Chain A
């Protein structure tokens, strides 16, 4: 693997150097500092409609101006990118994937997806395993995905804390924008430990999972109380009292039990969704719903909770008593009920296909604008970064994509990707192999 990586590094460098030569590829030659003007494209601003023949200016890593041609001044000395016939849109946000936690799925040594030794692992931090140099990251951003929520695998009820990343940067520190973003709580039945009586281990059942979660939350509340009491006595000048022993597992849960950060509840069947949400309500958790793929019977109830929902994967196959399009049409069904939705790929290698799921949801009734929002502004709002990301607005971070057509169509080719105002080289492990073998 090491040799391979070294070869790759050399290849990337060579390719990068090659890409910088021709003047026809202005993006790769962009200086880090100067302004960039994307001119003549159709701007999907998300926040304020579509602008035909628009101009978008990037300066200092931010979007500095957005508007119609003629109304927006192209700064002197700006690098101009001709976007006539192109679509310009905000970088897409994948609301759950596993980038940086896996390289080759079947090769254990390249996987850091899930700690299976226990079901309650809130003190695992995705940020601690995130591999910034993974070849999957350039492959994904090549399709216009600029940000993602990286989650552990869902085989534990509490598998660890998500990170919010940007898909470019010189190292992990630059790419990890929010380290402990949210706490996934997985309640799909997958987390049960062995179903046979011979090999049973707690929690063997859903009631076991629920009891274990309750016990954990109560222990964490008690832990928090102990520390609060201690701090009070300490503040009152009582130095004699011994500090409680630190417990990293319980400590990790405190901000979530205080409602300071969101818990992402993944459940699929109606009864699981209801059970998990009931449990969350007992502890006043701040909830983001996830998956709900087989909950068609309770969509009105879900809507009444006013919770955001991460939809999909819409490619989950319907159950045998469901119509073929029962899951494909779920985003449309939720959006129709006023639910704020966001798309997730739940993938790693195929995370690049995120926009196509949204496109297919449109085919099954989701309004196009809602689909674009569910890839941009909605996730930015859900994850608390809407002041920075999710739309083409002056002042936001310049995560901008230029493509030769409709972002949601499989035929569309992405031409330029800007992340934090920098043109990302359109070079991946795969383009290098393509170029090597098309000679």
Chain B
């Protein structure tokens, strides 16, 4: 966890420097005044198994206690979970919702200074529809047109609140990298570099080398200035190179869109050459071909349950990818990359039980704690543990099935979605009356 807090510290600075955007939610909703007591449910904690007839007390937006004999304020709002199943809020580590059509700044293969928060449309109803499927946190990434894309934004699905209240406070900053068919198709179709995988990786190396040179120029200047050299001229500030320097300094979590087994190996060797660390491989459909290499490197994968064949580099995808990789020691998240799939991540995770025999705990972990690790917030969400954020889903039946529906979704100790409410089922959104809404 030390790395993460250090990262977070660095990132705050990086953000000010790069785009002068404070990512800290300034006017985040105040934590609810009243405690919430979720009573008598089957708790699927992720970190310590299943607890029957368990309670959870949420105090000041955090989990204050869980299990049996849980203490909570006498005036706590009680939610009866008898016969129901309680999980941590689901986490989607690969999403492009709420960015309107501004997912790809596909005008250059290197755009690390694009900040997705500048495109974030907090009014997008996809945030609501996905909340209704039990997802409470999503990582909104730049697209995969560029070898080095922009920097992500992490949101909590507090639909109905304003922009800043939806930002995950002090989340580490992630940056999107890509590889393979998308960059070469986008730029190749214009007769530009890159149009091959050779070109792809060379563009990436060249950009990183440029950032290295830029850092050295600044180091030289700073050294001269420090020694009192009044003639020393500062190099020109360049937002793009500032951002890449943050990659090289390890201040950004590198999230790579990738498919083919050979490309995993190349990306890991480039990262080693330039001295940064890859946090996660996304899509990663051929991870099962090189799981030992990924596991020993220490990167996670964020993969689909069973998508395949939509392009040639996805032709060797198999639905056993997640479990085969996990069994070889790879940390595995199931992600959506889709405003549709994100609405039922629980079903996508449940497929790993069928394809490869994941246990329920393992399957649930793939949509909670492991994606939280990918985003760098696993110390704050992703399991039912004391001190973690009060992000809780109450399901009407066992969540890893075709039939489960999220009855209530709480974020930071407050109910944001309640299926039994008329209209949209939202508490903080001024929805039309029930009669106005198509049921």
> Would B353 and A411 count as touching, CB distance under 8 A?
yes
A293 to chain B, nearest CB (A): 11
Inter-subunit contact B309/A105 (CB<8 Å): yes
With contacts A323-B423, A410-B350 taken as known, whether A438 is within 8 angstroms of B309 at the C-beta atoms is: no
Minimum CB–CB distance from A374 to chain B (whole Å) comes to 14
Q: Which of B125, B351, B425, B436 lies in contact with A410, CB distance below 8 A?
A: B351
Closest B residue to A363 by CB, please name it.
B403
Which A residues are CB-close (under 8 A) to B344?
360
As a 0/1 sequence over residues 400 to 433 of chain A, the CB contacts with chain B under 8 angstroms (1 = contact) are 0000001011111100000000000000001101
Give the interface centre of A350, A360, A410, A412 by most chain B CB atoms within 10 Å: A410
How far apart are the CA atoms of A329 and B315 in the complex, in Å?
33
Q: Return chain A residues, CB-CB under 8 Å to B311.
A: 104-107
With a cutoff of 8 Å between Cβ atoms, the chain A residues found around residue B404 in the complex are 363
Nearest-neighbour CB distance to chain A for B43, whole angstroms, equals 21
A68 CB within 8 Å of chain B? no
Assess whether A326 is interfacial by the CB under 8 Å rule. Answer: yes
Instruction: Give the Cβ gap from A49 to chain B, nearest Cβ, in Å.
Output: 21
Is A437 interfacial (CB 8 A cutoff)? Answer: yes
CB neighbours of A434 from chain B (8 A): 288, 318, 320, 324
B400 CB–A CB distance under 8 Å: yes
The verdict on B307 contacting chain A, using a C-beta distance below 8 Å, is yes
A321 to B125, CA, bound (A): 9
| A409→B401 contact, CB < 8 A | yes
Compute how far the CA of A433 lies from the CA of B320 in the bound complex, rounded to whole angstroms: 10
User: Main SS of the interface on chain A?
Assistant: loop
A352 to B401, CA, bound (A): 16
Q: How far is the CB of B159 from chain A (nearest CB, A)?
A: 10
Beta-carbon nearest neighbor of B436 in chain A: A321
Asked if A317 and B129 make an inter-chain contact with CB atoms under 8 angstroms apart, the answer reads: yes
Residues of chain A within 8 A of B309, CB atoms compared: 103-105, 136, 348-349
User: Is A169 engaged at the interface, CB distance under 8 Å to the other chain?
Assistant: no
- Closest A residue to B432 by beta carbon equals A321
Is A411 in contact with B400, judged by CB distance below 8 angstroms? yes
Count: A-B pairs, CB below 8 Å: 116
CA distance A95 to B307 in the complex (A): 21
Which of B311-347 touch A at CB < 8 Å?
A: 311-312, 314-320, 324, 339-340, 343-344, 347
**Complex CA–CA separation, A437 to B293 (angstroms):** 14
- Chain B residues lying within 8 Å of A364, measured Cβ to Cβ, are 405
Contact code string A287-328 (vs B, CB < 8 Å = 1, else 0): 000000000110000000000000000010110111111100
A104-B312 CB under 8 A given contacts A317-B340, A324-B132: yes
Q: Per-residue 0/1 for B255-276: is the Cβ within 8 Å of any A Cβ (1 yes, 0 no)? A: 0000000000000000000000
Asked if A362 CB lies within 8 Å of chain B CBs, one says yes
Given the complex of chains A and B, what is the CA–CA distance between A349 and B314 in angstroms? 11
A322 touches B353 (CB 8 A): no
Residue B128 at the chain A interface, CB threshold 8 Å: yes
Q: How far is the CB of A97 from chain B (nearest CB, A)?
A: 13
A372: min CB distance to chain B, Å: 13
Task: Please determine whether B310 and A105 come into contact, CB atoms closer than 8 angstroms.
Answer: yes
* Of B181, B324, B424, B432, the contact of A438 (CB 8 Å cutoff): B324
Contact partner of A349 (CB less than 8 A), chosen from B307, B343, B437, B438, is B307
Q: Describe B's contact surface by its main secondary structure.
A: loop
Q: What sequence of 0s and 1s flags, for each residue 131-151 of chain B, a beta carbon within 8 Å of any chain A beta carbon?
A: 011000000000000000000
B289 within 8 A of A: yes
Chain A min CB distance to B68 (Å): 29
Residue contact B315 to A104, C-beta cutoff 8 Å:
yes
On whether A360 and B438 interact (CB within 8 A), knowing A106-B312, A433-B316, the answer reads no
Q: Is there an interface contact between B437 and A360, defined as CB atoms closer than 8 Å?
A: no
CA–CA, A363 and B306, complex, Å: 22
Instruction: Report if A283 contacts B (CB, 8 A).
Output: no
> Taking the nearest CB of chain A, how far is it from the CB of B203, in angstroms?
21
A107, A324, A359: the one within 8 Å of B129 (CB): A324
Q: In whole angstroms, how far apart are the Cα atoms of A250 and B317 in the complex? A: 43
Q: Which of A74-114 contact B (CB under 8 A)?
A: 103-107
Q: Are A321 and B437 in contact (CB under 8 A)?
A: yes
A356 adjacent to chain B (CB < 8 Å): yes
In the complex, the answer to whether A437 meets B289 with C-beta atoms within 8 Å is yes
Indicate which residue in B132, B181, B319, B339 contacts A430 across the interface (CB closer than 8 Å): B319
- Give the CA-CA distance A323 to B432 in the complex, in Å: 10
Q: Does A353 contact B (CB under 8 A)?
A: yes
Among B343, B350, B432, point to the contact of A411 (Cβ < 8 A).
B350
Contacts of B128 in A (CB 8 A): 324
Q: Which residues of A contact B189 (CB under 8 A)?
A: none
Distance in Å: Cβ of B77 to nearest Cβ of chain A? 24
CB distance from B137 to the nearest CB of A (A): 18
B401, A323: Cβ atoms closer than 8 Å:
no
Check: B221 CB closer than 8 A to any chain A CB.
no
Specify which chain B residues have a CB less than 8 angstroms from the CB of A413 in the assembled complex.
354
Of all chain B residues, the one with the shortest Cβ separation from A107 is B312
Is B420 located at the chain interface by the 8 A CB criterion?
no
27 contacts between A and B (CB under 8 A): A104-B311, A106-B310, A136-B309, A317-B126, A318-B129, A321-B438, A323-B423, A323-B438, A323-B439, A324-B128, A324-B133, A329-B439, A349-B308, A360-B344, A363-B405, A406-B402, A408-B402, A410-B347, A411-B353, A411-B400, A430-B317, A430-B320, A431-B318, A433-B316, A434-B324, A437-B324, A438-B320
The 5 closest A-B pairs by CB, nearest first: A359-B402, A106-B311, A349-B309, A324-B132, A430-B318
| A104-B311, A410-B347, A434-B324 given; 18 more Cβ-contact pairs under 8 Å | A318-B129, A321-B437, A322-B438, A326-B439, A353-B306, A356-B347, A356-B402, A362-B403, A363-B403, A408-B402, A409-B401, A410-B353, A410-B354, A430-B319, A433-B316, A434-B318, A434-B320, A438-B320
Residues of chain A whose beta carbon lies under 8 Å from any beta carbon of chain B: 103-107, 136, 296-297, 315, 317-318, 320-326, 329, 348-350, 352-353, 356, 359-360, 362-364, 406, 408-413, 430-431, 433-434, 437-438
